[in-house]
Amino acid sequence: MKNIANYLLTFFLFSLGVSSCTEGFEEMNIDPNNPTAVPAENLLTQAQFSLSNLMWSRALNFDFGMLMVQHFSQSEYAENSRFNQNPSSFDGIWNTFYANGMNDLQAAMRVTAANENLSEVQRNNNLAILEILRVWSLQNITDIWVNVPYSQTFNPAEFPNPQYDRQQDIYAGLASEIDAALSKITVGTPGFASGDIYYGGDMAKWQRFGNSLKVRIGMRMADVEQATARRMVSEGFAAGVISSADEGFYFPFQSDQRLANPFFVDNTIGNRDDFTLSDVLVDAMKARNDPRIPAFGNPNVAGEFVGLPFGLTDGETFALQGTASRPSNRLRSATAPGYLLTHAELKFFEAEAIERGFINGNAAEAYNAAVAASMMQWGISDQIAINAYLAQPINAYDAANWKNSIGMQKWIALYGNGIEAWSEWRRLDVPQLAVPVAAVRPSIPVRALYPAVELGNNPTSVANAGFENEMNIKPWWDVK
């Protein structure tokens, strides 16, 4: 990890000359007749940056995910907080997932499989890294759009217009893929010698992340495929998951503005000031005497932490925007990491898995450890203060209402990672979020719209996706 900046800058310069396509699926492959033209290490770096930058981006994260869970309010141009999205809102997001990041992973797999200079063990380790990243990406894609191209994707010669698979079939495929990827890993032999920004080729950490991802996939299925969920969750925990902050799956953004945290780029480089903390988040944290508020946001001009009411009209927002707290300097620092799967999340999953009977253990202890891990992540290291927070009745674990306890604290802990917060809010239904009076849709969106680029390039498959292109279509795993 010492050469992260060099890897990323190499990627950036490389990407100026060799870029992935951004149009239809028919152009998504690197030429299969020339698979060694680009080193797998370059493709890996490019995919890792592209996908991480997207998950932490303005378009997907704080202009969509963070609004859907009401962590942010919009201080101007407030259409998205009133759920006024349209298909073109998601063009760039779809293309970055499929035509950039995922395409680079697929190309890196082909290059790696054909590389005769690798030992079988190292080839398998490298393929495991790429396959785990593919599973992580595809889970995000299906959780955002529900039914999406999966089985026919990245084979444009045979399937120029890939069909949309049902989400339950995609999840079955992801369960098989993560098991296959984990079975390839040999701990003790490194993976990629360069280009791996996350873990620097450390296969023990990749194994823990893969097991953690297996738990996340299993827990998403907990209400609809209990037997499969139980197997995946129990096996994941038994094999070893992320157990400390330094094992977390996070992207280390850099001080170079080309590689910086998107929150920094948007605010400092782009000079944008479109987001504040929402009143929903601030009021919930104040009610709990939560010491993370100063880490989440900056005080307003009066020195107070105030959230802007969520979902206002442009005029109402303009009148109040000066009173509200902006996202914190900590969140908007150029080098602030993109936290994509954390120790805190795994402890929350552990508490839930115990309550569901998937694994043995003490749910209250796992819950307390989850809250403490989140506090540490946000710079709260005083154990006395953490214990005092957990001792308050409103924060103490309630086994009789475990879903509410876990759901509320997880909603707070996932601040910054809008898409994962949205997914867990949809699954756990905590907290109860209100639809703004000024909203243009009658309910909070539970899926994104298929993008305009797909409506134009692949209309038959979109028409046969299984439902109308609306934002009220629940994911298969959301049964409430």
Q: Are the C-beta atoms of 298 and 271 separated by less than 8 Å?
A: no
Give the pLDDT confidence of 387-417 residue by residue, as tens digits: 999 999 999 999 999 999 999 999 999 999 9
Residue 400 included in any domain: no
Burial class (CB in 10 A: 0-12, 13-18, 19+), 351: buried
Residue 204's alpha-carbon distances to 120, 191, 240, 340, in angstroms, are 18, 10, 10, 18
**Domain span at residue 209?**
4-70+83-257+442-463
Residue 383 included in any domain: no
Q: In the predicted model, what is the mean pLDDT of residues 339-348?
A: 98
480 falls in which pLDDT band (50, 70, 90)? confident
Q: Are the C-beta atoms of 29 and 115 separated by less than 8 Å?
A: no
DSSP E strands in 307-414: the ranges are: 338-341
| Location of structure tokens 């082909």 | 110
> What domain count does the chain have?
1
111 falls in which pLDDT band (50, 70, 90)? very high
**What CATH number has the domain bearing residue 156?**
1.25.40.390
Residue 433 included in any domain: no
Mean pLDDT across the chain, nearest whole number? 93
Task: Give the span between the Cα atoms of 290 and 325, in whole angstroms.
Answer: 16
37 falls in which pLDDT band (50, 70, 90)? confident
What's residue 10's pLDDT?
Answer: 61
34 falls in which pLDDT band (50, 70, 90)? very low
| Location of structure tokens 């797999």 | 109
Q: Which two tokens stand for residue 192?
A: 């990629």
pLDDT at 32 over 60: no
Q: Give CB contacts under 8 A, 24+ apart, made by 229-236.
A: 229/358, 230/356, 230/357, 230/358, 232/175, 232/178, 233/349, 233/353, 233/358, 233/359, 234/353, 234/358, 234/359, 235/211, 236/211, 236/212
Helix (H, G, I), strand (E, B) or coil at 154: coil
- Residues 6 or more apart whose Cβ sits within 8 Å of residue 222: 229, 233, 352, 356, 358, 477
pLDDT at 218 over 50: yes
Residue 455's alpha-carbon distances to 88, 98, 429, in angstroms, are 10, 15, 31
pLDDT at 430 over 50: yes
Q: Report which DSSP code applies to 436.
A: P
Residue 289 included in any domain: no
Residue 288 included in any domain: no
Phi-psi region of 328 (alpha: psi -120 to 50; beta: other; left: phi over 0): beta
Residue 217's CB: how many other CB atoms inside 10 A? 23
What's residue 28's pLDDT?
Answer: 42
Q: In the predicted model, what is the mean pLDDT of residues 172-196?
A: 97
What's residue 18's pLDDT?
Answer: 43
What's residue 374's pLDDT?
Answer: 98
Residue 166 included in any domain: yes
Q: In the predicted model, what is the mean pLDDT of residues 252-277?
A: 96
Residue 179 included in any domain: yes
In percent, how much of the chain has pLDDT > 70?
A: 92
What's residue 61's pLDDT?
Answer: 98
Residue 339 included in any domain: no
Give the pLDDT confidence of 347-381 residue by residue, as tens digits: 999 999 999 999 999 999 999 999 999 999 999 99
- Residues 6 or more apart whose Cβ sits within 8 Å of residue 183: none
pLDDT at 14 over 60: no
What's residue 1's pLDDT?
Answer: 42
pLDDT at 29 over 80: no
